[in-house]
Amino acid sequence: MPVESRALVVHGGGPTAVLNASLAGIIEAWTEAENGSLFGARFGVQGLVAGDWIDLSSAGPEQVRALRTAPGSAIGSSRMNLSETAAERLLVDLRRKRVACLFYTGGNGSMGTAWMLAQLAERKYPALRVVGVPKTVDNDLMVTDHSPGFGSAARFYALATRDIGEDNRALRSPVTVVETIGRNAGWVAGATALARQDADDAPHLIYLPERPPTIETICQDVTSQVERLGRAVVIACEGLRDPEGIPFGAALDRAGSAQHELAQNLGHVLAQRVSAMTGLRARSEKPGLLGRSCSFAVSSIDSDESYRCGRAAVEAAVAGCGGTMVALRRVSSEPYRCETFLTPLASVANAERLVPDAWITPSGSDVTPEFVEYVRPLLSPIEERRRFGAI
């Protein structure tokens, strides 16, 4: 790769609490390799196609270190789609500007865009190396053991569920519905199981979109828990629907969009319906975007792995490995150890990894010990709460 070549970083989709850690890894590794200038597309695809680039080469060591713990995206992100026609024009511009490496950070949709660019580059600009950097709180990227961003979001919701559960125990609501993030995959919802210190701790019921329940089933489950314990904390993934594909009467944001349609107020509607159908008092909690962006609940493992993925992406590009995405392979769970490797962009583009059915209990209202053991090392410790007396 010629010294005067340039590289460009693009962020796609929703930011995470550790997205900037991968950016820090890219900046550091690129600077160490002394490959030339490094830029960031301002607000993702929007800046990519407009040529609105931020110079990252001038970032000093202190700025880069600060990035490792900064939430959001320091260069901005976007959900804007890139058409093939626009991509062809973009490649002409990248060639003219001598961009030799394109680092595309995001989830399965972003990897789809990266794969399209890599395919076009093979025909129209072979010198361009497109390398994907994994990022998604939904944890639904294929091939990789898990996705940077997931561990921190999962830790936030596990901590929130633990503390909501203590509140619910102290002053019985008696029913609290907690809505977690997750469009079609219930990884974050399932991770709230780590909030449990004892068998009867919250969450008492966990519903994942992979196993759609009826509203009647939810009400029966809630009633049984309240009769047994006097309380119930219910976890509902925001993408949850009934067996007919209906979100229980919740309003839809961007209805009709295969990519973006999502219930706006699922937890609130579920609490209302449970209350109306059972006579129990129910309320809802929706941390929403706080769950994916919260910097004070970051998993140190998640942050470190995000940083390592950024560095690995540069190493791959410098070695000439385009058309690939950096992925994580679990080497050991006890002690936990993970390594990076490369997988073809084609293996992850626009594909979605859901929670395996075997990791959901037969009742459909909880996750299995196998799920818990998979996710436990990724969150950093969830501290137990000391209790006095028996309530």
Question: What residues act catalytically?
Answer: 138
**Contact between 195 and 213 (Cβ < 8 Å):** no
Give the span between the Cα atoms of 29 and 386, in whole angstroms: 44
- Where do the H-state alpha helices sit in the chain? 19-33, 45-50, 61-67, 84-96, 108-124, 150-170, 187-191, 215-229, 266-278, 290-293, 300-318, 369-375
Secondary structure letter of residue 97 according to DSSP: T
**What are the C-alpha distances in Å from 232 to residues 57, 74, 202, 235, 363?**
53, 40, 7, 10, 16
Q: What are phi and psi of 144, to 5 degrees?
A: -65, 145
Closest CA to 158 of 177, 183, 178, 134: 178
Closest CA to 16 of 328, 306, 301, 382: 306
